[in-house]
Structure 1
């Protein structure tokens, strides 16, 4: 099959690789019908993560089941499905506790930006889509494989409540989905931290009531002015850098929570601040399967539309240009069509 492969920093190619195959009886092979590039894919693309030359990349996709293993009972060839980026059996003790991201049989989508991908634990991971869904919903449905559940996880982990004040740090697709999640849960005041006008516009569309473009001490001052010196009841950290994490704790009111979903790179926690102000930290890798049924219902009912996070659509074979566009911040999130 043809797949997106990473060979070195900034070196993305669309090349021939071996087809995925059923390796365990719980597996399924999915023919990808829509894929996308994640902000976290930019870490290895920029050389911030170790690279094995020729490795496949991409973990967000929708598709049609091509083949299932002998123990898969809930799906069959021809089913249209959402593929969560983190696969789970949905039956182990951790899954039953709502932490499918810690499943005892955890797996990951390895070739989401490709013609085919293998799904571990198909029965527990996959969620079927109605075959008669409105084609215009495709971008929104694609977000359900990762970015929307990840933004939702940030909001849940931060303890967003109806009537609360939330600050969202990060104006990438995850941060924007975090704004949408906070608004859907019922936050009354949502402060989106963003320097980029197109992203600010989407944040407002998703429910942001205030925009803060400053960073560092100026950002703190701006948030405190908006909140009458109190700070945020809930903070969604959707970047993963040391600066973004420090800002998150700076703007959090005493006794509040920071929900973090940005993949950490070079982060040192301000433990003294956390101790002195009783600010907690929760979050991490999103248990996508936990949230997927609820979010799918919201999308199909027209109550949320995270699709606008995609502002560039390209053929899959032009995936390298998609990476360049996101790396250079010419695009928020790129949708890829095989």
Structure 2
């Protein structure tokens, strides 16, 4: 079968590889029909992630089940499903606590399309077929009447951005929000969407990139154009600040923009081993800093419900749609978000 493979540097290739097979009676095989590009994928294919190839690409996947193991009860061949990018069993202590990003039944950080972070090649969404272990737990039914390209991103980024914002606005209803855009360019847009949908007061988006500023404005944010490198004084103080730029400058700006006893969430860690963090300032002001990977499977159902109800529109963040077979040419496009869709699939 075909598998889009990251080789190294900025090189990707379609490889012919053996198709996956059912290995356990709890497995399912899924044909990816729509895959969206995560912000991390863009860094990978530009050689900026530090992850060494070769490995399969793509981890935001929606598709069709083609086969199931004998123990699978909740799904059948032909069902349309969303495939969370993190592998989790659903029954270990961590999964039961909702920490599906750290399932103890599989190697730590097990994920599709990210072999270097876990040491296991689970395959990638930009392939003809993927194997899904623990299918009854892992898979989520596609909401009826919604295109697969709309929901594929819920496998990672669209859930990450929405859940981060929804969590804090549940604690502080109606709070003003600042989103600092940059590296995590689509995560920032999902956070803007979530802030608007969940009733934030003022939603401000700050960036030094004109296309992202325009997209954020179209999603309902007030925009602040910053100079290159985000070397700017904060545009006020905010109870909730989201740093989606993932630079030293952005985290310092985010802290300066967080009001006393406010919340700052960094949407990525860093590609460097250490990051300068002004603990004295944080202590004096009383800032709560949140940095963590999303628990996709635990948080996905709520996001699917908001999409089904028309409250959340991940498809509005997509800035380019291409044929699945052209993924090798388009995956490095610097545009905000790319959807790879098989012919005949919405």
* TM-score (ref. length: structure 1): 0.87
What residue in structure 1 maps to residue 243 of structure 2? 237
Find the residue that maps to 1:87 and give its secondary structure: coil
What residue in structure 2 maps to residue 167 of structure 1? 178
Q: Summarize the Cα distance change of 1:138–1:155 in structure 2 as closer, same or farther, 3 Å threshold.
A: same
What residue in structure 1 maps to residue 120 of structure 2? none
More deviation in 174-183 or 62-71?
A: 62-71
Find the residue that maps to 2:329 and give its secondary structure: helix
Distance 1:243 1:153 in 2: 25
Superposed counterparts of 1:116-195, under 5 Å: 116-130=129-143, 132-134=144-146, 137-156=147-166, 158=168, 161-170=172-181, 172-195=185-208
Distance 1:128 1:38 in 2: 21
Shift of 1:52: 4.5
Distance 1:336 1:218 in 2: 35
For the pair 1:196 / 2:196, whether they are aligned, the reply is no
Q: Summarize the Cα distance change of 1:304–1:153 in structure 2 as closer, same or farther, 3 Å threshold.
A: closer
For the pair 1:332 / 2:336, whether they are aligned, the reply is yes
Whether contact under 8 Å (2:213, 2:223) holds in the other structure is no
Find the residue that maps to 1:234 and give its secondary structure: strand
What residue in structure 2 maps to residue 261 of structure 1? 267
What residue in structure 2 maps to residue 74 of structure 1? 74
Find the residue that maps to 1:149 and give its secondary structure: helix
Find the residue that maps to 2:187 and give its secondary structure: helix
Q: Summarize the Cα distance change of 1:69–1:177 in structure 2 as closer, same or farther, 3 Å threshold.
A: same
CA RMSD of aligned residues (A): 2.2
Whether contact under 8 Å (1:183, 1:207) holds in the other structure is yes
Q: 1:131-169 CA distances to partner (integer Å, 9 max, x unpaired)?
A: x514xx433212211121110233145556322111112
Whether contact under 8 Å (2:230, 2:249) holds in the other structure is no
Q: Summarize the Cα distance change of 1:21–1:239 in structure 2 as closer, same or farther, 3 Å threshold.
A: farther
Find the residue that maps to 2:233 and give its secondary structure: helix
Q: Summarize the Cα distance change of 1:94–1:109 in structure 2 as closer, same or farther, 3 Å threshold.
A: same
Distance 1:246 1:21 in 2: 48
